[in-house]
Amino acid sequence: MTQQAVATETDGTDRDPRRPGRLRRLAHRWVCRFVGDGLAGPGIWRRGLVLAACALVLAAAMRLHAHVPNAVGNLGSLAETFLPWFGLLVPVILLAALVRRSATAVIVGLLPAFVWAGQFGGLLSDKTDPTADGDLTVVTHNVNAQNVDPAGTARKVAALGADVVALEELTESAAPVYERTLASTYRYHSVQGTVGLWSKYPLREVEPVDIELGWTRAMRATVEAPFGDVKAYVAHLPSVRVRLDAGFTARERDRSADALGEAVAKERLDRVVLLGDLNGTMNDRALRAVTSQMRSTQGAAGSGFGFSWPASFPMARIDQIMVRGVEPVSSWTLPETGSDHLPVAARVSVR
């Protein structure tokens, strides 16, 4: 009788729903084993040294990217073009460290996370000035030479309502289409080579800018805005390529960037806005001749990274709006128009 009672009591205990289930017991055992290794011996610190080394290399690549040499295949510029994406490797390293049960790799794996946050964390916040309306809305858009519907793209650009619009990669056949379609919205415009500027305000001193290509891919004009003159530069720097035999081929772009920077540096008007496809990011050292003397509206008054290319899955912000002598109020990217680039817009305060 006593044995039967004991058996019944034991069966009841096994069926007690308050006891941990099998999965919970396994998870508990795994955690205890992880912690126990650390308390019992140095195994938890000795494992994952390769992962820790990878984390150190990643942190160094992000923090010291300016020292990655460009001598071989422009490797430094290539890394700087896609530098924000290096952050995707951080959770991979941390997850691998947890699977490996390595305290060393977990601790060292936090280092690139802190480096990435220090460099790009500020871009995640909205820096738009809610107290300022701004005076001038500007847009830049590479419309794509292979665009099969330039009229449709032009209508979408006109619908944006910007005061000043810069277009790049205008072909000889498509330029008249943009001129006709935008004429009702923009009274003033000028096309120089493969770039053009459309404005609701009068333009004067319109001229091409030599960026050492042998043909015109840059221009400038004075915009007679209601609150003061603004010098608008439009530029389309040469394209870059990634080739297995030559690496990141950007020599022509780099030479043009230096020429553009020299032209901007000589500009006598205080208020300057640069709009265009620079085929490079603000991190790219090759654009230093330009970026060292101008501010990015996205970095100063944007929200997020503002990637503009390719339009189907933006991975880099190579379309830029930069300013000098005016204050950025807001900056954003716009929906697709049929081009392989997204339009980029900014609102600036001229006064």
The CATH code of the domain that includes 201 is 3.60.10.10
What are 23-44's pLDDT values in tens digits? Answer: 656 555 654 555 554 444 457 8
Contact present, 165 and 345 (Cβ < 8 Å): no
Least confident of 218-222, 245-249, 251-255, 281-285: 245-249
Same domain, 71 and 138: no
Same domain, 54 and 158: no
Same domain, 191 and 67: no
Same domain, 145 and 101: no
CA dihedral of residues 97, 103, 104, 107 (deg, nearest 10):
80
Contact present, 203 and 223 (Cβ < 8 Å): yes
pLDDT (mean) for 326-332:
96
Residues of the chain with pLDDT > 90, as a percent, come to 74
- Provide the domain limits for residue 15: 2-123
In the listed set 60, 91, 123, which residue is the last one of a domain according to the structure? 123
Same domain, 169 and 220: yes
Same domain, 116 and 233: no
In the listed set 123, 156, 181, which residue is the last one of a domain according to the structure? 123
Predicted TM-score of the model (pTM) = 0.83
Same domain, 194 and 315: yes
Continuous H helices in 228-278:
251-265
What are 42-93's pLDDT values in tens digits? Answer: 578 888 999 999 999 999 999 999 888 877 677 888 889 999 999 999 999 9
Same domain, 168 and 109: no
In the listed set 77, 102, 123, which residue is the last one of a domain according to the structure? 123
Q: What is the pLDDT of residue 9?
A: 44
Provide the domain count of the chain. Answer: 2
Same domain, 214 and 105: no
CA 259 to chain centre: 24
Least confident of 74-78, 201-205, 221-225: 74-78
- Residue 8's pLDDT band, with cuts at 50, 70 and 90, is very low
What are 107-129's pLDDT values in tens digits? Answer: 999 999 999 999 999 888 888 88
Same domain, 201 and 68: no
Q: What is the pLDDT of residue 77?
A: 86
Same domain, 77 and 153: no
Same domain, 31 and 66: yes
